[in-house]
């Protein structure tokens, strides 16, 4: 808005100068060459790229989980709708690097200690997209709180298994998943959700060594009884911690985040096994089960 002035007021002089500059710019644009137009298009493209790059957000939470204290690093991109999470090793949890690509509806988690990556569809019931994860951090930042304590978290257990005889052809990876995978180059296995009615047993005496693709033979013939397919939970797991806000409410003309809380998403290592029908615990030193799992089984 311009000031109301007389002709002799300094503000009017400034206004006249602004109008003079504007008219000169218009005349120059009318005489602009094709090369200049291309240059302007290029400059606009570079500007758009810079704005897009600013949609990358990197932040972290200080996590307290039992006796462990560590920093969990998170990166979100609102344009690509991706979430990356790095969780260091702690307690019985393995170090993990994860990307969730909500455009493709898939996520990949790489486990350096096992030298493997796992690919699966995103579980929409437990996962928050880039917008939700970013909103949760901003909400906590505004409150001056970037710490997550496992003592007051909602624990969500994701139950997926892998068959180490099924290796994914990485040539089919695309977009953010393909770019993410370049830092690892491990074999990629497909994770599948365990059926709700499946039988799940613990694996005892496992040694947490590197996994290789191997299915051990069932040495015991199960006394003539038919063997059963079950799922074995091994020691070691991966996890991540997030602050999530589930809903928004409009109050006094402003949108307010509500139902905000800490979520601990934990993913045990689960393998498919064939066992004798009476087995209630999978013993890696026994001969009543065979699983596609640890190298020293």
202-247 pLDDT tens trace:
988 654 444 443 445 566 678 889 999 999 998 889 999 998 876 6
- Considering the domain architecture, whether residues 101 and 20 belong to the same structural domain is answered as no
- Whether residue 296 is predicted with pLDDT greater than 90 in this model: the reply is no
Task: Judge residue 241's burial from the number of C-beta atoms within 10 Å of its C-beta, 0-12 exposed, 13-18 middle, 19 or more buried.
Answer: buried
Domain assignment present for residue 1? The answer is no
4 in a structural domain: no
181 vs 249: which has the higher pLDDT:
181
| Cα–Cα distance for residue pair 77/130, rounded to 1 Å | 6
pLDDT band at 255 (very low <50, low <70, confident <90, very high): low
Q: Tokens 């040539």, residue? A: 171
Minimum mean pLDDT range among 123-127, 140-144, 160-164, 293-297: 293-297
Q: Count of alpha carbons within 13 Å of 30, Cβ hemisphere only?
A: 6
Q: pLDDT (tens digit, 9 = 90+) per residue, 19-64?
A: 444 455 445 545 545 545 444 444 444 434 444 445 789 999 999 9
Reported as a pLDDT band with limits 50, 70 and 90, residue 68 is very high
Q: Note whether 149 and 290 are same-domain residues.
A: yes
Residue 278 phi, psi (nearest 5): -90, -5
- Token pair 């200690």 is at which residue? 113
Domain count, the chain: 2
Confidence of residue 297 (pLDDT cuts 50, 70, 90): very low
**Helix (H, G, I), strand (E, B), or coil: what is residue 66?**
coil
- Is the same domain home to 187 and 251? yes
pTM for the complete prediction?
0.72
Residue in 232, 223, 234 with CA at minimum distance from that of residue 276: 223
Mean of pLDDT over the chain = 77
pLDDT by residue (tens digit) across 272-284?
889 999 999 988 7
Query: 28 or 109, which is more confident?
Result: 109
Q: Tell me: do 188 and 96 sit in the same domain.
A: yes
Residues with Cβ within 8 Å of 211's Cβ and at least 6 positions away in sequence, in order, are: 114, 115, 116, 164, 293, 294, 295
What's the pLDDT score for residue 214? 43
Those residues with Cβ within 8 angstroms of residue 214's Cβ, 6 or more apart along the chain or in another chain: 164, 292, 295, 297
What is the pLDDT at residue 24?
Answer: 53
| Same domain (yes/no): 14, 108 | no
Residues 137 and 245 in one domain: yes
Q: In the predicted model, what is the mean pLDDT of residues 177-198? A: 93
């Amino acid at each position: 808005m311009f000031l109301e002035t007389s002709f002799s007021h300094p503000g009017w002089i400034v206004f006249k100068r602004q109008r003079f500059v504007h008219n000169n710019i218009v005349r120059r644009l009318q005489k602009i060459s094709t090369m200049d137009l291309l240059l302007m298009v290029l400059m606009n493209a570079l500007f758009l790229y810079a704005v897009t790059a600013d949609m990358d957000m990197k932040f972290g939470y200080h996590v307290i989980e039992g006796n462990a204290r560590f920093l969990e690093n998170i990166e979100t991109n609102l344009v690509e709708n991706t979430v990356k999470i790095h969780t260091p090793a702690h307690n019985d949890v393995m170090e993990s690097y994860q990307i969730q690509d909500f455009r493709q509806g898939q996520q990949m988690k790489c486990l350096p200690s096992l030298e493997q990556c796992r690919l699966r569809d995103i579980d929409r019931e437990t996962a928050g997209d880039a917008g939700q994860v970013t909103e949760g951090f901003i909400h906590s930042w505004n409150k001056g709180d970037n710490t997550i304590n496992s003592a007051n978290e909602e624990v969500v257990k994701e139950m997926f298994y892998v068959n180490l005889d099924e290796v994914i052809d990485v040539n089919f990876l695309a977009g953010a998943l393909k770019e993410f995978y370049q830092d690892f180059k491990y074999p990629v296995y497909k994770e599948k959700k365990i059926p709700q009615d499946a039988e799940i047993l613990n694996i005892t005496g496992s040694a947490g060594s590197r996994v290789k693709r191997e299915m051990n033979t069932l040495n015991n013939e199960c006394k003539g009884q038919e063997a059963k397919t079950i799922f074995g939970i091994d020691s070691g797991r991966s996890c991540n911690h997030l602050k999530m806000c589930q809903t928004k409410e409009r109050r006094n003309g402003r949108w307010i985040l509500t139902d905000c809380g800490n979520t601990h998403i934990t993913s045990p290592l689960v393998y498919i096994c064939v066992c004798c029908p009476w087995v209630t615990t999978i013993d890696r030193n026994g001969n009543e089960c065979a699983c596609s799992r640890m190298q020293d089984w």
